[in-house]
Amino acid sequence: MTRLTSSVLLFAMLIAGGCAATASDGSASSENAVHVGQGPDAAVEASTSDDAGAPSDTDASDATAPVGPRGPSTTTFTAKLAAFGLDVNNLPALHDLPINQKMKVMRTFNESMGMQCNACHDLSDYSAETKMKDVARAGWDEITRKVTMADGSALYCDSCHYGKRDFLDHTVGHAGISQWMQTNFVEKLKSKDGADMACTTCHKEGAPPPPDSTH
């Protein structure tokens, strides 16, 4: 299995089952709280802070709490991305972004998914590869670049996450989540290449995770 395919499967599993553990009452546990970490280049981060819109620690304290079910909607980040030279309808591969632009993109991840740097990065070595870096790349390259709303309007991270890392309603169980995804992802989205949306659009090389999966 190629690394990209593995990443896409992991990203789909994260969506389907909610990779982050959540408390039964929907509030985030203290062990899952995320905190602001020092960026790899403080000067670059400082230069982008005015238009970055990074959330506070308070905003991120319940980042793993599920909300919804709320279906996908057209992104509200079109103007924000355009302000630093990106067309949400024609995004380049994540690895092709120059560092100044990439730092601003990372801050849109903070805002749209309620996460801070240490959700994906090893704060002792920002260049180190992590599982969540693969998830982020797969979400960018395989979803935001290749999928739109059924009417053709653009998707971005906020289209599904609405400021939360885990946006699914876990109280409905595996069958309920599967039905929700059929209704909201398969029926309300479309692939830019014209192919019909299906479970396998995201769940590469296999079925969705089983009901007892923790991912």
CA-closest candidate to residue 41, choices 106, 91, 130, 111: 106
Residue 101 CA to residue 48 CA, distance in Å, equals 9
- The residues that bridge with 189 in the sheet, in sequence order, are 149
Tell me what pLDDT residue 18 has. 42
pLDDT of residue 167: 83
pTM metric for this prediction = 0.64
Question: What pLDDT shows up at residue 142?
Answer: 87
* pLDDT tens-digit readout, 153-174: 999 999 999 998 888 888 888 8
Alpha-carbon distance 62 to 55, whole Å?
A: 12
> What is the model's pLDDT at position 173?
86
pLDDT at 209: 54
User: Rounded to an integer, what distance in angstroms lies between the CA atom of residue 135 and that of residue 113?
Assistant: 13
- Please report the pLDDT score of residue 96 as a whole number: 93
Q: What is the model's pLDDT at position 93?
A: 92
- Which residues, given as ranges, of the chain have pLDDT below 70? 1-69, 204-215
**91 vs 10, 86, 87, 95, 141, CA distance in Å?**
22, 7, 6, 11, 9
Note the pLDDT of residue 68.
44
Cβ-contact 200, 4 below 8 angstroms? no
In whole angstroms, what is the distance from residue 54 CA to residue 189 CA?
A: 28
Helix (H), strand (E) at residue 175:
helix 173-181
Strands 147-149 and 189-191: antiparallel
